[in-house]
Structure 1
Amino acid sequence: MKKQALISAIAVSALLAVASFVTAQEVQSLRTTPVDEQNIVEDVFQQDKQRFGRNYRQQPPLIPHSVEQYQIDLKANQCLRCHDWSTAGERNAPTLSMTHYLDRDGNQLDRVAGTRWFCNQCHVPQVDAPALVDNTFKASSGSN
């Protein structure tokens, strides 16, 4: 019983020591403006007007336009308004690869396969932004 009381007393004193240390630290904000003012952030990178070449064989193409407001979820995929095989011609947009219309077993479908429904898993908007980390990647010899 005495051992239990001793352990409890040590735990309480350790908790109080940590609490007093935490309250003594000054909290600093990462914001550059006061909390009650709007924090304005400038756009750093813009979409490029020309299309980027691919860096390796079978690289998914980059998207040359903004998709910020596009709905892509279980109910809708706004990319298909222009890029589905049934609408691409009249919209003057590239058609999806036929691989997007194959199910897991390789059967041809008339609609985009569920495994290819979420376009932004593979395709991202192109931006001429600096690399976030140094790398030694070299494009394939046959790429643009």
Structure 2
Amino acid sequence: MKNSTRHFPKLILAIIGIVALSFVSAYAAEELMHVDADGKNQVASLRKGTALNNENLNPAPLQDEQNKDLRFNRAYPMQPPPIPHKITGYQIDLKANKCMSCHARTRVEESQAPMISVTHFMDRDGNFLADVSARRYFCTQCHVPQVERDPLIENTFKDVHHLIVQPNEHEE
């Protein structure tokens, strides 16, 4: 009997914590909901009323694509470089890859574009291939063009460089 009474305060605290968490979760769920024009509860999102199951197979082209041809800073190691130029109208499919007309190994001298990384010539087992690996062929899976836009939500992202604690230069 003595052991069960010893754990009683911990049990009470656990129950209070679970109840409090339930209230917080319910409040958060309520905040994410809004009522649409038809009076139905909908989950709030950046899609602004577009149904989640609406698959637009012909999205509108990007507006105000940057075309500066300047390299962007990368926020973390191994981040794929963003595309610094317009790619509207580029054919990137099973038949052709317009990116390779400048970024292929055999075209960089003429185009003065950076060559694609040697990792794009490796298969999943680390073997080097004569041509671009099929899993790296569709450039826009990782590399994206940039546009001039105000952020939809506050961005609190911190570059990895700012997360690493720098030693004080004056300490000995």
For normalisation by structure 1, the TM-score amounts to 0.63
In the alignment, residue 97 of structure 1 is paired with which amino acid? S
Alignment counterpart, residue 134 of structure 1, candidates 154, 163, 169:
154
Alignment counterpart, residue 101 of structure 1, candidates 121, 140, 146:
121
Identity of aligned residues (%): 50
C-alpha deviation, 1:130, in angstroms:
1.9
Alignment counterpart, residue 66 of structure 2, candidates 47, 56, 61:
47
C-alpha deviation, 1:76, in angstroms:
0.7
Call closer, same or farther: CA 1:44–1:140 in 2, change over 3 Å.
Answer: same
- Structure 1 runs not aligned, ≥5 long: 1-21, 23-42
Alignment counterpart, residue 70 of structure 1, candidates 55, 68, 90:
90
Structure 2 match to 1:58: 78
C-alpha deviation, 1:140, in angstroms:
1.5
- Structure 2 runs not aligned, ≥5 long: 1-37, 39-61, 163-172
Asked if residue 87 in structure 1 is aligned to residue 83 in structure 2, the reply is no
Q: Is the 8 A contact 2:65 2:85 kept in 1?
A: no
Alignment counterpart, residue 131 of structure 2, candidates 88, 94, 111:
111
C-alpha deviation, 1:44, in angstroms:
5.6
- Residues in 2 aligned to 1:44 and 1:87: alpha-carbon distance in whole angstroms: 29
Question: How many residues of Structure 1 are paired with residues of Structure 2 in the alignment?
Answer: 101
2:131 is paired with a residue whose SS is coil
In the alignment, residue 52 of structure 1 is paired with which amino acid? F
- Residues in 2 aligned to 1:57 and 1:118: alpha-carbon distance in whole angstroms: 21
Alignment RMSD (CA, Å):
2.0
- Residues in 1 aligned to 2:111 and 2:159: alpha-carbon distance in whole angstroms: 32
Higher relative contact order (CA 8 A, sep 6+): 1
In the alignment, residue 83 of structure 1 is paired with which amino acid? H
Q: Which runs of 4+ in 1 moved over 6 A?
A: none
